């Protein structure tokens, strides 16, 4: 029989453990508070993108007032520099005629193998109401100093007189210093920035279906994943693809514009980050432990479940910060934000 003193001691111990658990939960929630890169009401095609240099500098690029804006962080996203315009992105290419309706449409930010940063975007010139003129030129610029300054804009394409349009998913560095461009319309293209040559990259699902608008990543084990209406896997150079079953981040109502993003982790795992629909709340994360070949939807972790997060197109995007953490950039009507997340938190 337990003595009264022993019962009191047990009660105090249990209460202490409960309080410690409560404090630990509060700590985890406090640690999962987003940091604002841009804290103001926004609208339109903001579409933030993020990359990381070898030294750990984080670079976020998004659309401002018809110009790309760039913010940087050297402390894993704890604080961010004041966003500055990438001036070259606001210039009209010489081959695009001047019209009243002009738009800079953001693409993506990527770190090249030599640690330079590549940004892509569209120059949209719309005069359809006047004479049917509409151009959507694909442009890029490069920074050699971690996002401080940028080269003059360069044009990719056109092909047979037609501009390539949008690159909404990240550019993948390929063999021989080429870039694999996952285009919104048409098959992916391999681009050689030294010669400006463009070649088609057939990405064909078994059955002969050629999908558009796919994110293509290379895993730490050298495999390729292509995320479109279905998730495809290739253990070669993309010559043959296999559909992956039970992928949790399937498009909602056949909408490939859903904010879905694959992150290849350095240990061979693959992370997918996504949201659902126009009224999305929270960030969904799911980890594959075998190179993206199998997934378990029951292991999905939802963070910020009460927060409005724009799910379509570029929000959210996740990169690896170190062996223990990833960082996600996302947007909503109140700005552009960054969330640092422990991988242990996503592995539960």
Distance CA 139, CA 154 (A): 5
Structure confidence at residue 263 as a pLDDT band (50, 70, 90): very high
Stretch 17-28: mean pLDDT: 36
> Taking the domain 33-183, which CATH number applies?
2.120.10.10
Question: Global pTM?
Answer: 0.88
Question: Domain residues of the chain, as ranges?
Answer: 33-183, 202-348
pLDDT in tens, 90-113: 998 888 888 888 899 999 999 999
Does the pLDDT of residue 13 top 60, yes or no? no
What's the fold here for domain 202-348? Answer: Neuraminidase (2.120.10)
How many other C-beta atoms lie within 10 A of the C-beta of residue 130?
10
Compare 300 and 169 and report the one with higher pLDDT: 300
- The answer to whether 33-183 and 202-348 have equal CATH topology is yes
169 touches 183 (CB < 8 A): no
Per-residue pLDDT tens digits for 127-151: 888 888 888 999 999 999 999 999 9
pLDDT per residue as tens digits for the range 43-102? 888 999 999 999 999 999 999 999 999 999 999 999 999 999 999 999 988 888 888 888
| Cβ-Cβ contacts under 8 Å for 156 (sequence gap 6 or more) | 120, 138, 139, 140, 164, 181, 191, 196, 198
């Amino acid at each position: 029989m337990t003595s009264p003193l022993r019962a009191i001691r047990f009660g105090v111990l249990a209460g202490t453990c409960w309080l410690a658990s409560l404090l630990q939960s509060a700590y985890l929630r406090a640690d999962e508070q987003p940091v604002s890169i841009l804290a103001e009401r926004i609208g339109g095609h903001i579409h933030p993108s993020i990359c990381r240099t070898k030294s750990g500098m984080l670079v976020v690029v998004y659309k401002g007032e018809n110009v790309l804006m760039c913010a940087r962080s050297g402390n894993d996203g704890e604080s961010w520099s004041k966003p500055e315009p990438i001036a070259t992105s606001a210039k009209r290419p010489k081959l695009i005629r001047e019209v009243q309706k002009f738009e800079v449409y953001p693409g993506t930010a990527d770190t090249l193998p030599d640690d330079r940063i590549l940004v892509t975007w569209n120059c949209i010139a719309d005069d359809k109401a006047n004479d049917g003129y509409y151009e959507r030129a694909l442009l890029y610029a490069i920074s050699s100093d971690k996002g401080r300054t940028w080269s003059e804009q360069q044009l990719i394409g056109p092909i047979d007189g037609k501009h390539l349009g949008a690159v909404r998913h990240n550019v993948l560095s390929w063999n021989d210093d080429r870039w694999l461009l996952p285009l919104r319309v048409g098959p992916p293209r391999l681009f050689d920035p030294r010669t400006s040559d463009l070649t088609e990259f057939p990405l064909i699902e078994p059955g002969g279906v050629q999908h558009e608008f796919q994110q293509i990543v290379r895993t730490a084990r050298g495999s390729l994943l292509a995320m479109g209406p279905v998730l495809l896997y290739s253990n070669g150079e993309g010559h043959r693809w296999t559909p992956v079953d039970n992928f949790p981040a399937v498009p909602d109502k056949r909408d490939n514009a859903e904010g879905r993003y694959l992150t290849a982790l350095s240990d061979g795992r693959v992370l997918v980050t996504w949201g659902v629909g126009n009224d999305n709340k929270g960030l969904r994360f799911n980890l594959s432990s075998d190179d993206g070949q199998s997934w378990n939807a029951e292991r999905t972790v939802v963070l910020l479940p009460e927060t409005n997060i724009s799910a379509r197109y570029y929000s959210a995007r996740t990169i690896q910060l170190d062996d223990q953490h990833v960082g996600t950039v996302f947007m909503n009507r109140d700005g552009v934000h960054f969330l640092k997340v422990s991988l242990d938190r996503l592995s539960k």
